[in-house]
Every structure is written in structure tokens, then in C-alpha cells.
Amino acid sequence: MIGSASAVDVPLMVVLKGQNFVQSGPTVAALIEEDRSQDEVPLVFEAFAQGEAADSLVSGTLGLPGGGSVPLEVGEDSMKEWQYTYNAETLLELNTVWEDGTYTFNLTTKNDGVQSIAVDLTGDTYPNVPQITNYNPLQTADPTAEITVQWAAMTGGTLNDFVMCDVVDRDTGATVYQSGGPGMPGALNGTSVQAVIPADTLSPGRSYETEVLFVKVVGVNTSYTGATAIAGYYKLVKSTIKTPASSGVALGATFEAAVPQPHTWDVARDSAISFRFSHPMNTGFQSVSWTGVSPSNFTYEWIDGNKVLLCHSSIDLPADTDVGWSLDLSAFRDAAGFALAGSEQGSFHTLPDAPGSRPDVAGIYALKVRSFSQTGTSPVSDGMYFCDAEVELNAYNRVKTATLTMPGGSTVLEHSPWDPSMELEANYASKTDLDRFFPNGNFTFDMATLADGPQSVTLSLGTSDDYPAAPTVTNLAALQTIDPAVATTITWTALAGWSATPAVGVGVIDLEIDNSQDNEVFWVDNESLSSGSQCVIPAGTLWPGRTYRVNLEFTKITDLDDTSYPGVLAGAGFSSITQFTIQTTGTPVMPAITVEKSGDAMNVNFVGGEPQRNYVIESSRDLFSWRTLEERWSDGGSDFIFDNDARYVGLRFYRLRDRLAGEQVQFKRVIQGTVWTDGTQSTPVVGAVVGTSMDAQTAVTDSNGRFFLETDTPNGSGAYTVGVTSSASHKDFGPYTGDQPREQDYEMN
């Protein structure tokens, strides 16, 4: 067993490259989807030094194989741990930035002086994905008994390799179970295939996140007496454990999302509307109010284990209309019979055209894909592979459920929040992992449609790989100085067997251009191409001073089916995608912004800018601290933001900016109200300091007892209390869970 319990200042040092997966069903795990706001990243380089106590380590750096170093900094979760982390998007990026070689911990400790400990990280010997094998039983785990988490064994795992299992309460973020660290009591090794959670560790009616970590150890150094330095490669899988609720206990159900999303434009008029909840619901309760459409036209159906309320109009939605909805959550009940709290509302805008008679589904496809990157004359593999499967819908929610079954098992396709489709994109950083979860063979889509009834389509990817050659762009250098005012041609090495008409055995081409915000600005499909070796981007498609990402995809078709589901074309095949960037000359065009008074509030107007671009409108009271007022998608026309909060402040500034690439725009909680001496609300409290349990931000009440408090805490961050201090008197109010409450009254007696 590696590691040892010790009283030295820094008993453990670790340097790792890792891959993070999520398993949401019994058979399929895939790389986690990147969400940096939630610290969810698929590929990671990390190093840490674990101190014996919070002050054991004075300072530290990590020396790199090619020279230089990076600083180790105190971790967010523990003062004992000093760490460095780098998140990568592709395996090529991870291995280029963090090359094989010797990494050296240079540490200044409290009692052991200066220590220099080197460890070799070489070989890219990642373990297999730690797939949880008893997923289904863990969804109804009895918290009063021992709960066993089981996983597929680490291939070639030894006593010197490391396995860890922990469980986190999703509601509180607290770790409720953790197997021991290296060398510690309860530690697991590379031969372990399960962990046992003691009875009564988990609570009834809760949802937990479990993590199983495999570390393949490739380097060990024990020259720092009593301590161990480890280098290795890991794969980690996140999954869920759910416990049934006790009788009389609320499930904690919350509203999660609506499809179509609020503010969606161009919604087909034969769309259905769905509302998703976090837990199963009591199907006898619901309350939905509508505007712009007759409520009597709707029928309601609970689907997806009673977690989704599907609302279907018996006639087409009205043309070119804002359809609004409002949920009175207090009229909903979870499966245990407890009411939810609060309300939700939103709206979307319908298309002017009638949909006519058409199938629920527009198309079906299944692809296995390998990815390349091109920065010079030839593309190189970026190490990424994925399975891309989709049921394209003619309108939102026209399919209730869709299950994909392959030789390796089955998985459920999820509704996209962005467009009418149900999809699966399972990403991997190795072909071995792709083929493990999605082996070649037959892919069967089983669908429960809204009007067409049950439908099943089977597509064959054959028994062996048939990837086309990587697309190679031949004029990449010229594409770095594009004049957006004139047409531009992208040229590439011709795809062998290309045909403008899809057929089994031929090659087809797609090209997509996205801006830096991942919004699509240009797309051409195979049927629109006049050549298998070039494409013309019309003048005015691109905008000045911008960098765009281009995906050029070659696909070899292995199967086509237009008979199993009448009126629907389904296809399967193997694809190779090359990603590259192009750039335009000139200066970016920004919207013009004006501000005008509207009663007690303000209208912030903006005109122009780029289509298919997201802009962030921010407000400030001091030109120093800015907070997000609104994020808006631009169509190049005009729009406005109504700022009702302006009535509560004496001074207000506004600015508009591009949303940054990959930015998760966050809205901060804002609280406004009045502090009174007593319940009669006749005497305001002047000069009271108002704060919250969320952060250190405070506000002071004015001559009318009013305050406007802008916090640094994002919406949806959990319960909080409001504290009011006036002279020697202090009182706490709450807890509250709502976002941005206004017109609140706080009575001090």
C-alpha cells in the first residue's frame, strides 16, 4: 500500500492527469460536460501537497519538466492543502501544456525545513472508467441498512494503485462518506471493487452524489522521510445515490426548467410545452396559467417518472404571438404530498407560419466521431472521440421519451433546451472508452411520440470502423485575414467518394462556423454544396475584428432508413471532424446604448451590433462595482432593458459588453426594503446596517429607513438570513430562499 500515516509536516504530495466522467444510467458513462461555474471540467492536470496541519506548509511551488514552475496555493476546501489545477478542453491541449517528465515539489515547511521531492509522470497509462455496476439499486437505497457501491474492477489494478469512493449531500454540499486517503485507515487499492457505506450514514428522501476514483500510480518518491509523493493518471466517475423518503417527509422538489426556454423565438406552432421538476410529483396537482392562448385547449400529462409535466394544445398555437405561462408552485405537490413554494413564469414567441401535417420527428442519426485540430498545413488528432446520436423533432416536445439501445447497453436521450431535439453526445479522450460504451453494431431508437404513437428505428454501424480521412484545409493561412465585406472561399482536400446525394457507402460533408460565444453564424449541409472540396461564405456573413471557429466534418454513411418511420429519414455512419479558426480584419461593431427615464424606473435601449451574439448589460452605483442587469441575444436590431431597480437608488450607471467566450453569466441577489421600529410601520430606522449571511456586503438605511443591498452572491445559492443592526440592537430575519426580493419590511421590535 502506498503512503503512510505520519507526523511530518507534509505527509502526501500528488501530481496527476485526470479525466472526469458522469454516469446517469446503468450502462453508459461519458466525460462530464464542462461547466466551470460548477467546477465541472472533463480533463484536468492537478498537483497538491497535503499538510499535517493548516500551518504546516509555509510556501510551495511545482517545478516543471521543461523548466520553470507554477505556484501552489491554499485550497478553497482545506487550509491544509496547497494545490495547482489546470483545466483542458482536449487531450492534445492537456498533453501539450503538461508534458511527460519529472515534476518537483519545492516546499518550505514549518518544522521540516526546505524539501525538494521529484516524481515522474510519464506514459499516459490511464485506468479504465470506474463504471458503477449496481446503478439501479442505488436509486432506491435503504439508508437504514449498509449501502454497497460496486464498480467494474480496475484493469490490471495492483495494491500500489489507488481507489477512492466518497458521497456528497447534493443539498448541503457536505461530504457524508469517504474511504481513506492513501496510507490511511479505510483506504482502497487497485484491486478494490466496492465500498460499504455504514447504515444510517445517509438520510431518507435525499439525493447524493457519489464519486469513484481510479488512480494508476506510475511514480512514487519517499525520499522525504515519513512522506510519500505520488504521480499518476486517474479517471473519476460521478453518479447518484437516492434514498426513499420517510412517510411524512417532503422530498425537497423544486422547479428546474421549461422547454421551450423563456424568451425563445420562432417556436413552431405545433410545439408542446414541458416543465421539469427535480423529484417525482403527485400527478393529481398542478396549476398553470396561460396568456396569449386559450387555456381550455391544453391537456396535461405527467411523464419521465412523473418529473415532467407535458402541456399539449389540441390546436396549433396562435401565430406570431407571445405565449406566456405562470406556475403557482404552491398548487403543486411532490410525490410525498408536500406543496412546493413560490412561482415561476416565462414566455416564448411563435412562428407566423402554420406547420401543416407532418410527422413528430424530422430525422434520426447515430454517428461515431473522431476529432482533429489544424493550425498549420496538416490536421493532427486532438485525442477526442464521441458518439453523437439525435432525434430531431419538427417541434418542441413532440417525442415524450427516446431510448437508444446499442450492443453495450442502453441510454436515454435528453430534450435539448436550445432547439427541438432529443440528443446524446458522449465524449471521450480515447477510442478505447468510446468503443467500450458504444461498440459497433446495431443502434436502435425506441420513441414514444406525441401523435405518431410508438416508433422504433434500427441503424447499423457495421462490425468494423470506417472513419474517413481527416479533413485538411488547404488555404488556412489566407483565412486569417478575411475581409468580411467580400465573399470568402474555404478549400480543402476532396473527400473520396463524396456525393451530393446521401447513400450507403458514400461520403458527405457538413461545415459549421461558430463565433467566439459558440453561436452558429453559418452552416452548409451536404446537399447545398456544389463541390466536395470547397465552400463559399457569402459577403456580410462574418463581422469585422472577430475570430471564428470552424468545424469541417466528413462522414462515411453505413446505413440509411426511410421506411421504418414513415416520412422520416434516419442514417448512421462514421465521421472525422477538423476544427480550425479563421479571422476577419477590421474593428468589432458594438451596439449603441441610450438610457431614458420611464416613470420611477429606467429604460436601457441598445441598437445594432452583431446578429447571433450575446451581450451583457451591467449596472453600477459607483463605476467600480458592476453587476449583471440582463443578458440579451442580439439579432442586429433594437432592444431594451427595463430597470425597475433604478427607482431605489440615487445614482445609476450602465454599460454594455460582449459576453466572454465560455462565460457563465451570473445574476447576483439584490434585496430592497425598509426597516421600521415596530409593527405599526410608522417610524423608520435611520442609519441601520443591513447585511446577510451570504457574504460581507452591507447597506445603510436612508432618512426614510430604506435600503438597497447588492450582494456578491449568485441567485439560487440556497437559504439565507437578513441581519439588521441599529445602535446596540441586532435582529435576524429569515431564512429566505427567493431571489432578489423587493419591498421587504423589517420590524425591529
List pLDDT tens digits, range 318-344: 999 999 999 999 999 999 999 998 889
What is the pLDDT averaged over residues 49-66? 94
Alpha-carbon distance values, 479 to 210, 588, 638 (Å): 47, 17, 31
Q: Is the pLDDT of residue 268 over 50?
A: yes
What is the pLDDT averaged over residues 38-59? 90
Alpha-carbon distance values, 378 to 496, 574, 698 (Å): 17, 21, 57
pLDDT, one tens digit per residue, over 459-513 is 999 999 999 999 999 999 999 999 999 999 999 999 999 999 999 999 999 999 9
Q: Is the pLDDT of residue 36 over 60?
A: no
Three-state secondary structure call for residue 671 = strand
Lowest mean pLDDT among 73-87, 248-262, 531-545, 667-681: 73-87
Comparing C-alpha atoms, which of 409, 412, 407, 410 is closest to residue 448? Answer: 412
At 547 the pLDDT is 97
What is the pLDDT averaged over residues 338-365? 94
DSSP characters over 154-177: PTT--TTSEEEEEEEETTT--EEE
Comparing C-alpha atoms, which of 577, 556, 566, 385 is closest to residue 462? Answer: 556
At 4 the pLDDT is 43
How far, in Å, CA of 688 to CA of 728, rounded? 10
Q: Are strands 744-747 and 668-676 parallel, antiparallel or unpaired?
A: parallel
pLDDT, one tens digit per residue, over 591-637 is 999 999 988 899 999 999 999 999 999 999 889 889 899 888 888 88
Q: Which residues, 6 or more positions from 460, have their beta carbon under 8 angstroms from its beta carbon?
A: 441, 442, 443, 558, 559, 572
CB 553 within 8 A of CB 468: no
How far, in Å, CA of 601 to CA of 654, rounded? 13
Cell numbers for 77? 476546501
At 3 the pLDDT is 43
What is the pLDDT averaged over residues 412-441? 95
Quickly tell me which residue has 431510448 as its cell.
403
At 664 the pLDDT is 78
Comparing C-alpha atoms, which of 740, 744, 743, 618 is closest to residue 669? Answer: 740
How far, in Å, CA of 339 to CA of 333, rounded? 4
How far, in Å, CA of 392 to CA of 424, rounded? 11
pLDDT band at 1 (very low <50, low <70, confident <90, very high): very low
Using a pLDDT cut of 70, give the percent of the chain over it: 98
Comparing C-alpha atoms, which of 733, 729, 724 is closest to residue 701? Answer: 724
Q: Is the pLDDT of residue 362 over 70?
A: yes
At 5 the pLDDT is 45
How far, in Å, CA of 701 to CA of 688, rounded? 5
At 34 the pLDDT is 78
Cell numbers for 429? 479522450
Backbone angles phi, psi at 459, to 5 degrees: -120, 145
How far, in Å, CA of 87 to CA of 374, rounded? 21
On the question of a cis peptide bond just before residue 735, with omega within 30 degrees of 0, the verdict is yes
At 16 the pLDDT is 97
How far, in Å, CA of 313 to CA of 323, rounded? 12
Q: Is the pLDDT of residue 254 over 50?
A: yes
pLDDT, one tens digit per residue, over 634-683 is 888 888 888 988 988 888 999 999 998 878 788 888 999 999 998 899 99
Q: Which residues, 6 or more positions from 16, have their beta carbon under 8 angstroms from its beta carbon?
A: 44, 45, 46, 47, 121, 215, 231, 232, 233, 234
Q: Is the pLDDT of residue 241 over 60?
A: yes
What is the pLDDT averaged over residues 154-167? 95
How far, in Å, CA of 261 to CA of 273, rounded? 9
At 7 the pLDDT is 78
pLDDT, one tens digit per residue, over 271-298 is 999 999 999 999 999 999 999 999 999 9
Helix (H) or strand (E) holding 713: strand 706-714
Q: Are strands 162-169 and 175-178 parallel, antiparallel or unpaired?
A: antiparallel
How far, in Å, CA of 497 to CA of 573, rounded? 14
pTM given for the model: 0.88
CB 535 within 8 A of CB 529: yes
* Residue spans of beta strands (DSSP E) within 520-647: 520-524, 534-537, 547-561, 569-583, 592-598, 601-607, 613-620, 626-634, 638-643
| Burial of 455 (C-beta count, 10 Å sphere; 0-12/13-18/19+) | buried
Q: Which residues, 6 or more positions from 79, have their beta carbon under 8 angstroms from its beta carbon?
A: 54
How far, in Å, CA of 471 to CA of 373, rounded? 10
Three-state secondary structure call for residue 137 = helix
Amino acid at 66: G
Q: Is the pLDDT of residue 2 over 60?
A: no
Using a pLDDT cut of 90, give the percent of the chain over it: 81
Angle at 309 between CA 305 and CA 310, to 5 degrees: 110
Q: Which residues of 699-717 are buried (b: 16+ CB within 10 A; e: fewer)?
A: bebeeebbbbbbbebbeee
How far, in Å, CA of 432 to CA of 125, rounded? 13
